[in-house]
């Protein structure tokens, strides 16, 4: 595999495919408006990558940076390319790109009380195979609880909130975005 991360501004031809992938991969209550993502990608601290294997488009990853933190907001592989090792390859390429930083993401809380527990467990194992470890921290955005995973250690609530503020401003903080146990 020849994984390449290409800025969305440089890959306008796949923008519609990325939009469709984004809408089909994330539940409505976990999605920001796509236009907001595109506007955010104009900021210096935001990376919106179209992911390719050579010249073939395979997915997308959206990362917000602050200090030594790089937070994967959204990551998805084209449905036709899943199960072929592309997800792990993209995450390894991103980890190399963000080397020396605390590279982290949030997954839906792992708890047997949820109907899709086995799906959540599979997602946890996928990220573990890709080099992430559970931090033991939980995060809340609105009413949704997430488990944090990182390849660089724990995340302080204060740093997370500043990261969000640099991306979305003060209004976003009113949606109860916080790490519950930093």
The edge-to-edge listing of strands for the beta sheet with 133-141 is 3-7, 46-53, 56-66, 69-77, 102-108, 144-150, 133-141, 178-179
Gap between the Cα atoms of 87 and 60, Å rounded: 10
Q: Which CATH number fits domain 3-179: 3.30.410.40, 3.40.630.30, 3.30.559.30, 3.40.50.300?
A: 3.40.630.30
Q: What per-residue confidence (pLDDT) applies to 144?
A: 82
Long-range contacts of 77-82 (CB under 8 A, 24+ apart): 77/51, 78/17, 78/21, 79/21, 79/24
Domains of the chain, residue spans: 3-179
pLDDT(66) > 50: yes
Gap between the Cα atoms of 151 and 138, Å rounded: 16
Q: Which residues pair with 63 in a beta bridge?
A: 47, 72
Mean pLDDT of all residues in 160-166: 85
pLDDT(180) > 70: no
Chain centroid to Cα 25, Å, comes to 12
Q: pLDDT tier at 172 (50, 70, 90 boundaries)? A: low
Q: Rounded to two decimals, what is the model's pTM?
A: 0.89
């Amino acid at each position: 595999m020849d994984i390449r991360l290409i800025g969305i501004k440089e890959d306008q031809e796949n923008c519609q495919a990325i939009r469709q992938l984004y809408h089909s991969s994330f539940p409505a209550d976990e999605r920001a408006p796509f236009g907001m993502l595109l506007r955010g990608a104009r900021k210096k601290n935001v990376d919106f990558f179209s992911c390719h294997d050579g010249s073939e488009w395979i997915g997308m990853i959206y990362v917000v940076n602050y200090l030594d933190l790089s937070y994967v907001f959204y990551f998805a592989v084209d449905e036709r390319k899943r199960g072929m090792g592309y997800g792990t390859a993209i995450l390894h390429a991103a980890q190399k790109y963000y080397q020396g930083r605390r590279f982290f993401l949030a997954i839906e809380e792992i708890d047997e009380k949820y109907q899709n527990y086995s799906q959540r467990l599979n997602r946890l194992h996928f990220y573990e195979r890709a080099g992430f470890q559970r931090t033991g921290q939980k995060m809340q955005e609105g009413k949704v609880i997430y488990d944090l995973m990182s390849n660089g250690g724990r995340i302080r609530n204060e740093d997370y909130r500043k990261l969000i503020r640099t991306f979305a401003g003060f209004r976003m903080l009113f949606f109860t975005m916080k790490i519950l146990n930093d």
